[in-house]
Structure 1
């Protein structure tokens, strides 16, 4: 016979999951406001309203606006890099062309479906305090390295043909970030594929 203790879900685990969900909701609300209003326009009151919580509850999780912004930016970057790394892992045995296509496809999905805030937060100049400006530069470098390593592999193998890889990478990110503004999730697969094809032509022979 199974005892009640054996079937009960540990209370601590349930509480921790509820806390994590609530924290994730606050971070999501902060990212939405940051992307639409910028750092200067983000207020704790607005984040609390969007997350449907009391302002005091928000302070319980994050002691300051900068603490919330720092954690939101880091979580966003980590989530994006994890997804890009998974795309690389799935194409590990394939060519650099296939790997780059997989990265571009996933980045486009991130920008248009999962995290449309990425394009706004990381692409365009904004009056960030020095603490966050430096962190954003570091996050951009981490992101760029993921793509750059594949591009360099393709150049070494002769798959890619671009005179200046840095210029091509800047153009790539410009194409994808701009796509996050005009390309909506409801757009057909053909449209998304056309964007990926156009981006690939920055690196491959005609």
Structure 2
């Protein structure tokens, strides 16, 4: 009996500790759902707290304000995908065409198909009113993605696989169709459904036909 009571006493703090460690992720998920439904401006922290099943004050234990919560939501959705692409670019041993195909596949699976679209929609519709979150997204997502795409293009040129006259200063052109796909799914998907897998294949085919060396 004594052993059982001692086990209960030690396991309870562990459960509370695990619960506390999971709390930021739970708040981010609740926040993302509120942002998706109401947008950034209309989202209230008390509603986020209610959705997460906590009091409003709990949010301030982890996030300074609503902007900090939204930045955490951006990080939670974009950082893992960017890290995956970074790892692929750093270590891929094959030809650059295969590398770009793999990067595009990762990009569509984790960014276009996922709920990063929610964040992108807020950037487009409300970013001009909240430049601090727009600046954060640009610095921590767009700039890094551009750097990675530039590395891929430069790799292909240096290996003689891509045309030497590629306008490498504009890597966003390579990824632009994926951004269009994300916007389409946010706006016209219910009226004109997009087969995202077929679209992604067409994207890769068209881009590579413009990049590959014809020598």
1:18-74 CA-partner distances (Å, limit 9, x unpaired)? 334332132133345446654323321343344344323323332321221232333
Matched, 1:27 2:35: no
- State the Cα RMSD in Å: 3.6
State the distance in 2 between where 1:21 and 1:149 align: 36
Match of 2:167 in 1: 164
- 8 Å CA contact 1:119–1:177 kept in 2: the answer is no
State the distance in 1 between where 2:179 and 2:22 align: 28
Stretch of structure 1 that moved more, 42-51 or 94-103 = 42-51
Deviation at residue 78 of structure 1 after TM alignment: 1.9
Q: Does the residue aligned with 1:127 lie in a helix, a strand or coil? A: coil
State the distance in 2 between where 1:86 and 1:13 align: 34
Consecutive unaligned residues of structure 2, counting only runs of 5 or more, are none
Deviation at residue 113 of structure 1 after TM alignment: 3.1
Deviation at residue 202 of structure 1 after TM alignment: 4.4
Q: How many residues align?
A: 201
The 5-angstrom pairing of residues 33-182 of structure 1 reads 33-34=34-35, 37-88=38-89, 92-115=92-115, 116-120=117-121, 126-127=127-128, 129-139=130-140, 140-161=142-163, 163-167=166-170, 169-182=171-184
Structure with higher Rg: it is 2
Stretch of structure 1 that moved more, 52-61 or 78-87 = 52-61
- 8 Å CA contact 2:27–2:48 kept in 1: the answer is yes
Q: What is the TM-score of this pair, normalised by structure 2?
A: 0.71
State the distance in 2 between where 1:118 and 1:134 align: 13
Match of 1:200 in 2: 208
- 8 Å CA contact 2:178–2:200 kept in 1: the answer is no
Alpha carbons of structure 1 residues 39 and 153: separation in structure 2 relative to 1, 3 Å: same
State the distance in 1 between where 2:132 and 2:46 align: 22
Consecutive unaligned residues of structure 1, counting only runs of 5 or more, are none
Q: Does the residue aligned with 1:159 lie in a helix, a strand or coil? A: coil
Q: What is the TM-score of this pair, normalised by structure 1?
A: 0.74
